[in-house]
Amino acid sequence: MTRSSRKSGEGRFSLCGAPCSFTLVLCSLLTLSTSGLLAQSSEHERIEPPNTATPSRAQVDRAIALAAGYLERACGPDGKFVYEVDTFSGRKSNLYDIIRHAGAMYALAMFNQQHPDRQAADTLVRAARFMLRNYVGPGVRPGQLAVWSKPVSSNRQPTNQYAELGGAGLGLVALAATRQIDPKSVSLDQLQALGRFLLFLQREDGSFVHKYDAKSGSAPNWHSLYYPGEAALGLVALYEADGSSQWLDAATKTLVYLAKSRVGLSTVPSDHWALIATVKLLHYCDAGACPSARDELIQHALQVCNSILHEQFRGSAAVGLDGAFDPDGRTTPAATRLEGLLSALEFLPKGDLRERIVTAIEHGIGFLLRTQIVSGPNSGGMPGAILLRAGNASEIRIDYVQHSLCALLRYRLLSLQR
């Protein structure tokens, strides 16, 4: 769909039959509205010109509280989240994705760590029990557990389904975080069994089988960009839980493989999970666990950061796209890239790149703040995009909220450290 144009001589338009004066902002909004591009939900039709000032702590704190509140409300008594809701119709999707369930847990754990909250902790434990009861079952070999794509049968055996690398990786992150809050909710044996499944999927060079079918075995030609980073993060979380170096070694192999596979490329994927995992791993490299890999990991992180910076929109006040990373103003690509950039600031020294990243982050956080739903039954939700031509503009999905909450929490932590 292309944007419709207006004749330069037109000076008055009407919205719902009411005349409007011709100002820069209203002209831009009305042009988008009448051409069918602006998401017109009553709860998130507010596209405003960007405020170029640094987002205030009060603004960020409010957005964090709203997003965390949305996830808490979205998790039912059984621990299952409302996966997706349409803000126009109120219709809730019957689909479910357990990896995104784990991601929502990850965000709530991060929130609870920064803002200890009984309701967040209770939600996290509830969600962990749901995952363990319905999606975690025996892996391929004895002593393994996998996060399966569909609920396992009553005898705990997976049938007619598959286990993905990202499920075990992000599942480990979420369950390890839950165990820190309530050790009785998740056992160390369960975490280690998930770790053994990750090791089973890892090849000698550090790469992985990304998908394992319960009937046919490995799917060697199926890949997801983000799964290795999620796996590495899960392995580091497991190392933090039991102190066994095998998990840290496997995480190092994972990230070194990614770094080597992207050496010399002018543009690399915006792999935010790899950046997040790299920062976690570097804490232990500094302690001497993986000194030979440090330079490679940092160089790869710099490549990813530079690629992300080249994607960001700047100065698009007319359509509220300032700080976004794609022409539809999708919220999750913006939030995930911000998560990655904010993670990298933990090790980047002062200099031009750091300054450019900080500027990009402030524009990006401003975009998320303008897009969040702030009132009504979906308060705290994050629509998929601000422009209607993006098919998910009227939808809120738990991962849209998760990534925005994580980006806001990382930004809040950064602002406190300044």
Q: What digits encode the pLDDT tens for the residues 242-280?
A: 999 999 999 999 999 999 999 999 899 999 999 999 999
Q: Is the pTM of this model over 0.75?
A: yes
With beta carbons less than 8 A apart as the criterion, state whether 181 and 125 touch.
Answer: yes
**Six-digit token string for 59:** 């603004």
Q: Which of 9-18, 83-92, 226-235, 257-266 has the lowest mean pLDDT?
A: 9-18
Q: Which of 378, 264, 272, 258 is nearest to 325 (CA)?
A: 272
Q: What digits encode the pLDDT tens for the residues 137-173?
A: 999 999 999 999 999 876 666 666 899 999 999 999 9
pLDDT at 229 over 90: yes
Q: Which of 12-21, 51-60, 305-314, 325-334 has the lowest mean pLDDT?
A: 12-21
Distance CA 235, CA 271 (A): 17
Residue-level length of the chain? 418
pLDDT higher for 184 or 318? Answer: 184
Output the CA–CA distances (angstroms, integers) from residue 174 to 107, 121, 186, 269, in the order listed: 9, 12, 10, 25
Where does residue 65 rank: exposed (0-12), middle (13-18), buried (19+ CB within 10 A)? middle
Q: Is the dihedral of CA 385, 390, 395, 399 positive or negative?
A: negative
Q: What digits encode the pLDDT tens for the residues 302-340?
A: 999 999 999 999 887 667 899 999 999 999 999 999 999
